[in-house]
Structure 1
Amino acid sequence: MATTNGSHTDEYSIASPTSILGNKTLYEDADPEAPSEKQSWRHGISLKHEKAILRRLDFHLLPFVSLLYLLSFLDRSNIGNAKVAGMVSDLHLVGLQYNTAAAVFFILYCFAEIPSNVLLKLLRPSRWIPSIMVIWGIIMTLMCLVNSYAGLLVARVFLGLAEAGLFPGVTFYLSLWYKRSEQSKRVAIFFSAATIAGAFGGLLAYAIEKLEGRAGLRGWQWIFLIEGLVTVAFAVAAYWLMYDYPSTATFLTEDERNFVIDRLKHDSTDLATHYDIKFVWQALTDWKCWIQVCIYLGIIIPVYAFSIFIPTIIQELGYTASNAQLLSTPPYIAGCFFTILVGVYSDKLHLRGPFIVGCASVAITGYSILYATPPSLPGVSYAGTVIAACGVFPSIAVVLAWTGGNAGGDIKRGVALALTIGVANLGGICSSFIYRSRDAPRFYIGHGTVIGCLLLSVLGSCTGMVTYWRLNKQKEELCRRENIDQSQAHRFRDMGDASPLFRYTI
């Protein structure tokens, strides 16, 4: 891949009809009125060619950003593998000290996400995202030198600060390339890297532990060292491998770039793409954005709790430390499969809320099994962890696609996503304390708290579905009454999703 070094100020410039229709190579035989033509058409291009362009976007964007998030999730959650590998005894952690070390990651992580997304818009993604990766990769690498509880706390705080911009940044980044109806599948593929990281993390930790004692380092220190160095290596490569915007994408022809820009313009009903502080306040004061925060909070607490404590939960079922590392892999594999499957069908059916409710219900079933099963049936409890993973992980992508798709305008969308992810990620602090060592092996408080959070997500989703359906009806009536159509889109350019032409996804 080649880097894109052009300015980002015109990424949503409007392609003229001539440029869209005039390329005889790309739009050969593009006469939608021809009686022999059987294909469907959109914006002057056949769906066949549109799908080809989307495949090209997917090929150049999704594998790379998914790899970046895999490394991010691996670096934030490997503390769970390090715990099982002996970190707790070596650092003399007692009581809730491990839980505190897991929790402090989220303090600066949450507050840095909105500024990070604004900076990503003002700067270039191919510079901002690799830069923060280099920083957290170095921090992760140096964590192998931690020899005290205080040192572990400091390292985790700054790791959270450095990682803050990646997940909301890439989620926002994808919304600058794909239409709203196409985002759930792409975010699902991107987020599936988290489940792959969980599966790969267990296998990698099992293998790295074999280096125990080499160069005077314990197995858990090798986990931090190797995974940190890998992150730094890929971050450096990202400066040259990451693209910025459709308007500067070198893997597309000029006509293809114009087409991508034009379809995004139509999808957003010509809403504003420039920076203005008022768009930030539109997001912060929109009560609908806070509904999405509640929905995401109800999902993210179970996700983080699962990631940080699954090796411990499995070990407490009676398995050895090494087997606990290995057995943490299958739940993530199952979660990965269903994450992509749900994302695909959510886009195909243009629905968000019903899928969140369905996934949360599956997760509640899994955690109910964990809650009710006695220690004498470890196999049943383990099946509960697999079922829980199939419910909690798929919900994340759908919630974020719902949040981004229902926020109108680039800046409001970026802030809404960062707000949802940032505020809800404070739930990571909760996740770090609900599974306490003294509650093993049943973990009633942990499993019960997670079930309550999932019910919050169900309630928020039902509220969102009713709200968006009601607002769409009101806008349809207003457009009929005032004779408002797409030709008047410029009048409502700065209104965001409050524009009468904007329709919410349910």
Structure 2
Amino acid sequence: MEADAEKHNGSAAQSNARLDVEQVDGESPPPVTLEQFSHPNEKAILRKMDMRLIPMLALLYLLSFLDRGNIGNAKIEGLQENLCLTDDQYNWCLTAFFFTHAAFEVPSNLMLKRVRPSVWLPAIMVAWGVVMTLMGIVRDFAGLLCTRIVLGVAEAGLFPGVAYYLTNWYRREEIQLRQAMFFSAASVAGAFSGLLAFAIGKMDGVGGLHGWQWIFILEGIATVAVATIAFFALYDFPETAGFLTEEERAFVIYRLKYQGQTQDPGRAQVAQTDEFKWKYVVDAFLDWQIWVNIFVYWGVVCPLYGISLFLPTIIHQLGYQSSQAQLMTVPIYITAAILAVVVAYCSDRLGKRSPFILGFMLMMLVGFAICITTDPKENPRVVYGGVFVAACAIFPAFPGVIAWLANNLAGSLKRSVGMALQIGVGNLGGAMASNFYRARDAPGYRLGHGLELGFIVAGIIASLTLLVGYHAENKKRARKIENGALDTCTPAELEDQGDRAITFRYVY
């Protein structure tokens, strides 16, 4: 694995060497420009990358989301009754997953800097696929709890790893669409989970196993099978991508290396550093924007996990049969997936994140407000409509939150750690959401809906805080450049400062 990392680092150095011009007599190098490339077709290159990267990544995340959320489908197929679980014990099994999931996300992203993605990501997939399969043969609360804890460890690295991995291929004004295409697999997983659970539930009694056991076993086997394919189908980084020509590889590296900076024709552009220094790790832990963004993340992820884990149960409690409830989740997830991709395309085209995030958070408020103010016994269809509205706002908002922070972190290592922090600490929201919808609150679940509303409001406040902070900092840096502060800075110093450099501009 170390040899693989050295190979990657060596390739990166060689590619960067083709782009950087050596200093002469202590003078700054001339600006790096596109003229050194013979008119690369940028759209064609992006299409190549999309076709080779996104389908496999989306499949990986579909399986990840399917495996972590299928316990909700298994519940209404008899899991809780067969294992003699109390309501509190069932919720503990949901909650425990998120503690280990959050704890291992930063270490996993640091490993991704050392080990090739085509090795690390399939390896952790095999691990959680095996755990998922074993979950199908547990016999009591202790067994289910232990497998959920280990599942959290194994799955921890996939989402933050892929979210960071994509930033090594796409510029920040392109990333949300790709994040949404990848994340929309979660919506498809929700729809597919309902359909699959409906079909697998018919296997109840086959081989002496219950239907919920077959859900875990078959989906776990499918994960291991896809992970085996991923070892051969995943690409690592642009500098080693065999589907790109040498010039295309150099061009992709160039456009990533100099993104996010103000343009000054008379000076060399400021590169983003790929160097490993522990100071960049510390910078990520001390960066105010990451911690504020976590509250934005909670404002979306708490409703996300509330919907993902309890949607079949919420619909079931409205008076529908379990098989009907499974199928009624499908149109919600399909609509949400389509909206996520369309909205991401618009956000990338406009180069804006906060208007879309804030708009969909307000839409989530409306959806949960409908749920909490409607009597589920008298108007179950209205409650279903409220859940539909909320879910269709959650899934488009989530990729925007991920892309927003990724856009505003410069330097490969800091971005890796910062995104893992955001997703790791942010996913503790899943631990909280696992306990929002208590069985004793059925069928109205007013406490759960009310808590979701509270987190959404906190997310809106945090979004506004970031919006004001980014706008003020951009204006402050522009004034410093106007006053000549840039004349005292070398490109090397600015590169080392990353997103704290006065040439860097925050996206909002």
Same fold (TM over 0.5): yes
Say whether residues 1:287 and 2:274 are aligned partners: no
Q: Secondary structure at the match of 1:484?
A: helix
Alignment of 1:449-460 (within 5 A): 449-460=451-462
Distance 1:236 1:326 in 2: 30
- Structure 2 equivalent of residue 106 of structure 1: 98
The Cα of 1:65 is off from its aligned counterpart by 0.4
Q: Which residue number corresponds to residue 154 of structure 1?
A: 146
Q: Select the residue among 382, 385, 394 that pairs with 2:384.
A: 382
- Native 8 Å contact 1:271 1:492 kept in 2: no
Whether the 8 Å contact between 2:40 and 2:248 is mirrored in structure 1 is no
Q: 1:204 aligns with which of 178, 192, 196?
A: 196
Cα displacement (A) at 1:392: 1.0
From 8, 14, 17, the counterpart of 2:16? 14
Q: 2:128 aligns with which of 130, 136, 139?
A: 136
Deviation digits for residues 138-178 of structure 1, max 9, x if unmatched? 00011110010110000000000000000000000000001
> Residue in 1 aligned with 2:75?
83
Offset, 1:236: 1.0
SS at match of 1:11: helix
RMSD between superposed Cα atoms in Å: 1.9
Q: Which residue of 1 aligns with 2:263?
A: none
Q: Which residue of 1 aligns with 2:185?
A: 193
Contact 2:5 2:114 in 1 (8 A): no
Q: Distance in 1 between matches of 2:118 and 2:297?
A: 28
Structure 1 equivalent of residue 465 of structure 2: 463
Select 1:232's aligned residue among 205, 224, 228: 224
225-234 or 366-375: bigger deviation: 366-375
The Cα of 1:47 is off from its aligned counterpart by 8.4
- Whether the aligned pair in 2 keeps the contact of 1:15 and 1:261 (CA below 8 Å) is no
SS of the residue 2:311 aligns to:
helix
Which one of 233, 242, 246 corresponds to residue 238 of structure 2? 246
Is 302-311 or 46-55 further displaced after alignment?
46-55
Give the share of equivalent positions with the same residue, in percent. 45
Partner of 1:322: 323
Shift of 1:271: 2.1
Cα shift readout 1:40-73 (whole Å, capped 9, x = no counterpart):
x966669881011001011100111010000000
**Per-residue CA shift, 1:297-355, capped at 9, x if unaligned?**
11111100100000000001100011011111111111111111111111111111111
What secondary structure is seen at the aligned counterpart in 1 of 2:16?
coil
1:203-248, CA deviations, whole angstroms, 9 ceiling, x for partnerless residues? 0000001111001110000000000000000111111110000000
**Offset at 1:456?**
1.0
Offset of residue 272 of structure 1: 1.3
Q: In structure 2, what is the equivalent of residue 301 of structure 1?
A: 302
Q: Does 1:257 align with 2:240?
A: no
Find the aligned partners of 1:42 and 1:427 in 2 and give their Cα distance. Answer: 44
Match of 1:213 in 2: 205
CA distance in 1, matches of 2:300, 2:445: 19
Check the 8 A contact 2:128/2:151 in 1, yes or no: yes
Query: Take 2:360 and 2:487, find their aligned partners in 1: how far apart are those partners?
Result: 37
CA–CA distance in structure 2, aligned partners of residues 267 and 377 of structure 1: 52
1:112 to partner: Cα distance? 0.3
Task: Provide the C-alpha distance between the structure 1 equivalents of 2:224 and 2:18, rounded to a whole number of angstroms.
Answer: 42
Q: Which residue in the other structure is 1:356 paired with?
A: 357
Measured after TM superposition, the shift of residue 18 of structure 1 is: 11
- Per-residue deviation at 1:491? 2.4
> Using the alignment, how far apart are the partners of 2:333 and 2:20 within structure 1?
49
Contact kept, 8 Å, 2:61 with 2:158, in 1: the verdict is yes
Q: Which residue does 1:25 correspond to in 2? A: none
Q: What code does the residue aligned with 1:420 have?
A: Q
2:264 corresponds in structure 1 to none
Partner of 1:272: 273
Higher mean displacement: 484-493 or 464-473: 484-493
The unaligned stretches of length 5 or more in structure 2 are 22-32, 261-269
Structure 1: where are the runs of 5+ without partners? 20-40
- Cα separation, 2, equivalents of 1:501 and 1:485: 12
Determine the structure 1 residue equivalent to 2:415: 413
Q: Is the 8 A contact 1:485 1:501 kept in 2?
A: no
Inter-partner Cα distance in structure 1 for 2:20 and 2:66:
48
CA displacement, residues 83-116 of structure 1 (integer Å, 9 cap, x when unaligned)? 0100010000113111111111011110100010
> Does structure 2 conserve the Cα–Cα contact (< 8 Å) formed by 1:210 and 1:219?
yes
Q: Contact 1:6 / 1:248 at 8 angstroms: preserved in 2?
A: no
What SS class does the counterpart of residue 139 from structure 2 fall into? coil
| SS at structure 2 position matched to 1:493 | helix
Match of 2:43 in 1: 51
The amino acid across from 2:184 in the alignment is S
Structure 1 residues 264 and 447, CA gap change in structure 2 (3 angstroms): same
Shift of 1:486: 13
Matched-pair contact (CA < 8 Å) for 1:15–1:258: no
SS in 2 for 1:93: coil
Per-residue deviation, residues 252-276 of structure 1 (Å, max 9, x unmatched): 0001001001111111541211211
Mean Cα displacement is larger for which, 154-163 or 91-100?
91-100
The residue type equivalent to 1:313 in the other structure is I
Tell me the residue number matched to 2:26. Answer: none
CA distance in 2, matches of 1:45, 1:328: 50
Please give the secondary structure, in 1, of the residue aligned with 2:76. Answer: helix
Contact residue 5 and residue 248 of structure 1 kept, 8 A:
no
Instruction: Give 1:156's aligned amino acid.
Output: R
How many residues align? The count is 482
2:53 — aligned with what?
A: 61
1:15/1:259 contact within 8 Å kept: no
Q: Indicate the residue corresponding to 1:438 in structure 2.
A: 440
Q: Which one-letter code corresponds to 2:322 in the other structure?
A: A
Aligned counterparts of 1:46 and 1:344: Cα–Cα separation in 2? 28
Check the 8 A contact 2:37/2:247 in 1, yes or no: no
